[in-house]
Structure 1
Amino acid sequence: MNFKLTALLLLFSIGAVSAQQKNWTLQECVEYAVEHNLSVEQYELDLQNAQIDKSDAVGAMLPAVNASSSVTGSTGLSFDPTTNQPVTTTILSASGGITSSLTLFDGLRNLHRLNRAKLNAISNQYRLDDLKDDIRLNVANSYLQILSNKETLKVFEAQFAVSEQDLKRSKELVDAGVLPNGDLLEIEATLANLEQQIVNTQNQVLISRINLAQLLQITDYENFDVLEGDFQVPPSEVLTKAPKEIFAEALTFRNDIKFSQSGIDLANKDLDIAKGAVYPSLGAFFNYNTRYSDQGGFDSSTGSLVPAESFSNQLWINDGISYGARLDIPIFNGFAVKNNIKRSKINVEKAKLQLEQEKLNLETNINQAYVDVTSFSKAYDAAQKTLDARRLAYDYSKERYDVGLMNAFDFSQAQSRVDNAEADLIRTKYDYIFRLKVLEFYFGLPLEMK
């Protein structure tokens, strides 16, 4: 029994550690960020409000029904509500009724409000989706920054291991009298510098992990990490497209453009609502009411008081209905309607200008992304060529150093140039990948790393 319990606890512990050490893919990070981001949750609440506004607009087109009732007691001289005769006594009376009203015509404003509410719900959905797009790009940038820092750390650690071997060989050469002791000190200084770079890069890895975790609303920074892999510059069909083609495609699906277009539709609906106030409004109403009193009546034929009818009988005897229609014609209202129409027209023009501005911003961003991809592609190729040349120079310097034809200072400089070239290659590679992903994103391709 103890053995089984121990085995179960061991399996549980292994499962818990595995869950804590989960490495996230880019797609998982993007999906999690979109689902748990606080701004997204706020925008989703705004969308729910917009959907409630649509329900309000539908309700405004339906009849309004209200019921009322009251119970009154009075002592002294008062009027009997059922006979309207003055009496001096204590009276207990009750009344109740149901009233219904319906707007028949109001310049189609209720209909325009309903259509506006529908458009506003769509607009809020575009606004929410645009925010999610921005989050996806931010997550991708942070994710690639972690990968870049990790790859740079691996380079420095590998160079540190090589430098340790150089230090060991240098000690042997110094002991053999081939190299002076100063060269050994130079190698030790190079090792110390690499160790410092490793510590700095480890800090950068941690900071970049924390930044991504914060975007994902994750507080367990210690156990949060991303999936590592040998990511290379991916081939992309977007490189075969011209900026104008990418821009034309982006106009068909970008949520920021759709959001601005919906702003024009909303402004036009506001204008229709403002114009509706110029027309007369027509409404109808219907009312049913009844009343009760504990006072009896007076029979003139016998000259005697008649006891009060029962409560149920009085409800039928004293009931009544009223109905009618109401027409309101606007004549003069202090220029309020006229000025509201003018403001609505101005808002339509502002919405149109906002759409044009969004299009210009999108075209500028696409052109900038295209230039960035071209520039970083060239920078990446140049960094690769530089690294190849630095490695050849380093191999040549190492051969000279091993036979005593180069001092340790010059040899450490050659190694430092290789380190810097490798770090620069990693930086330009991930800068290029991110710019490429941005351009693909503008073309409608999903954010993913393979």
Structure 2
Amino acid sequence: MKNFSLIAILLLFCSQINAQQKEWTLEECVNYALENNIQVKQSELDLEVSDIEKLDALGNFIPSINAQASNSWNTGLTQNVTTGILQNQTVRNFSAGVTAGLTIFDGLRNFKQLQRARISRLSNEYALDKMKDDIALFVADSYLQVLFSKQSLEVLRAQNEVTVEQLQRTQDLVEAGVLPQGDLLEIRATMADEKQRMILAENQIQISLISLAQILGIQDYQNFDIVDRDYNVFGNEIMENTVYDVIDRAKEERSEIKIAETNMELAEKDVELARGAYLPTLGAFFNYNTRETGQGRITGAVLDPNEPTRQIGVVQGSQEIVVAPNTIPTLGSPLPFIDQLYRNDGISYGFQLSVPVLNGFATRNQVKRNEINVKRAEYQLEQAELDLEANVYQAYTDAKGAFEAYEAALVASEAQEKAFEYATERYDVGLTNAFDFSQSKIRYENTQREALRAKYDYIFKLKVVELYFGIPVGDLKF
């Protein structure tokens, strides 16, 4: 039993280590960033807010219903609601009611508000799409930077292995008297320089990994790593299109233009909403109310023993006084609560018309402000088109230049490789010194690193052009 428990603990521990040391692919990084990046989440919240605004607009089409109730006590000189006489008393009164209201016509502003809410949601969808494109490119650039740093380290290590071999060979030749002591010192200096550069390269890898992890929102920097994979250069068929083809496609597909277009539609809708304030507003209402009191009710009447009659008038001809019995109402217990509510209820209903006449030019000025915003939105759309054209042209030119630079870097690397092989052969037979050999090796190493840099620079810039061409983020191939 103890052995079984120990094995289970070991398996659990190993599985946790493997989970912590997971290596991420570029596709996984992009997908994770699109789900967890803070900026993407903020754009998604904007989309939720637009859904709430749409519900607000829909709420303008349904009646408003409000219920109210109050129960109050009045102490002191108050009117007796039963007898109508002012007297010192403590009275409890209860009232309740329900009111419903419906806007029948408000200058079509409720319809315009619903249309505006739909346009606003569409604008937020475009903003979310643009944010995802930007994050995907940002992640891809950071990911390729990590790969470049890792492969640069591999180049340094490979060159260092050559240096180690040459160090041993040079030491043997120096001890044999074939080469001078200075060549051995030169190789050792090269060895120390390479170790220093490898340390710096390892640090650069860690910095690049931390930067990528921060973009993804991953805090476990120590165990974060990516798959060591060599991405090939392919998919450059997009560059067979002219730059003007890419620009035309970008204007149709890119979110920047769509955002500017929806912003202009929103500005135009605001003008329509403001103009609706010129028109009358017609509403309907319905109210039901009832009341109850704790005061006693009149149950009958008796003659006033102190003054059994009272004067009610005088005969005009004879001046005879006319009297009538002077009665005092008798009060009984109040009716039950429900019975009073049933007997004292009532309803009111009707229509209410409001016609704007003069409001200090507030409506007129608001219309003018919104018309200015329409002009501003038109200029912003025009500027967005100009910016998109410039960005596409720049990206297309950068991609072409990056490809030419990559081809030139490959040619330079191949030529320098042959030059290094030739320098190695000459150094092995003692026809060149260690300094010239080290310089040749450094030049070869630099051309290899430059070829790697040009390669990943071209891959990234090619993906930028593909995005401008309208290829979705999920369909980008690396």
1:58-101 residue CA offsets vs partner (Å, 9 max, x unmatched): 21221111111222323443224467554554332221111111
AA matched with 2:330: L
> Displacement, 1:425?
0.8
After superposition, where does 1:269-280 map in structure 2 within 5 Å? 269-280=269-280
User: Of 340, 347, 365, which aligns to 1:314?
Assistant: 340
Change (3 A) 1:129 1:85: farther
AA matched with 2:470: G
Question: Match of 2:470, SS?
Answer: coil
AA matched with 1:415: K
Q: Match for residue 60 of structure 2?
A: 60
Deviates most, 233-242 or 149-158? 233-242
Cα distance in 2 for residues equivalent to 1:182 and 1:76: 117
1:26/1:449 contact within 8 Å kept: no
After superposition, where does 1:23-422 map in structure 2 within 5 Å? 23-81=23-81, 86-293=86-293, 294-297=295-298, 303=327, 304-305=329-330, 307=332, 308-422=334-448
> Displacement, 1:346?
1.0
Cα distance in 2 for residues equivalent to 1:70 and 1:407: 105
2:74/2:91 contact within 8 Å kept: yes
> Displacement, 1:230?
2.3
> Displacement, 1:324?
1.8
1:65/1:98 contact within 8 Å kept: yes
Deviates most, 69-78 or 355-364? 69-78
Cα distance in 1 for residues equivalent to 2:62 and 2:106: 13
Cα distance in 2 for residues equivalent to 1:68 and 1:237: 71
1:360-400 residue CA offsets vs partner (Å, 9 max, x unmatched): 21111111111111111111111111111111111111111
1:82/1:291 contact within 8 Å kept: no
1:125-162 residue CA offsets vs partner (Å, 9 max, x unmatched): 22222111111110010000001111111000000001
1:63/1:100 contact within 8 Å kept: yes
Question: Match of 1:15, SS?
Answer: helix
Cα distance in 1 for residues equivalent to 2:182 and 2:165: 17
List runs of 5+ in structure 2 lacking aligned partners.
Answer: 304-326
AA matched with 1:143: Y
1:81/1:93 contact within 8 Å kept: no
AA matched with 1:130: K
1:304-345 residue CA offsets vs partner (Å, 9 max, x unmatched): 425343332222222211112111111111111001001111
Cα distance in 2 for residues equivalent to 1:130 and 1:82: 73
1:153-177 residue CA offsets vs partner (Å, 9 max, x unmatched): 1000000001110111111111221
Deviates most, 52-61 or 413-422? 52-61
Cα distance in 2 for residues equivalent to 1:262 and 1:361: 17
Q: Match for residue 6 of structure 1?
A: 6
List runs of 5+ in structure 1 lacking aligned partners.
Answer: none
Change (3 A) 1:171 1:88: closer
1:224-279 residue CA offsets vs partner (Å, 9 max, x unmatched): 11111122212332111112212222223322222222111211111111000000
> Displacement, 1:42?
2.1
1:397-445 residue CA offsets vs partner (Å, 9 max, x unmatched): 1111111111111111111110111111111111111111111122233
Deviates most, 79-88 or 256-265? 79-88
Cα distance in 2 for residues equivalent to 1:82 and 1:349: 68
Change (3 A) 1:398 1:296: same
1:91/1:295 contact within 8 Å kept: no
RMSD: 1.9
Between the two proteins, what is the percent identity of the paired residues?
46
Question: Match of 2:222, SS?
Answer: coil
Cα distance in 1 for residues equivalent to 2:445 and 2:86: 109
Cα distance in 2 for residues equivalent to 1:9 and 1:201: 38
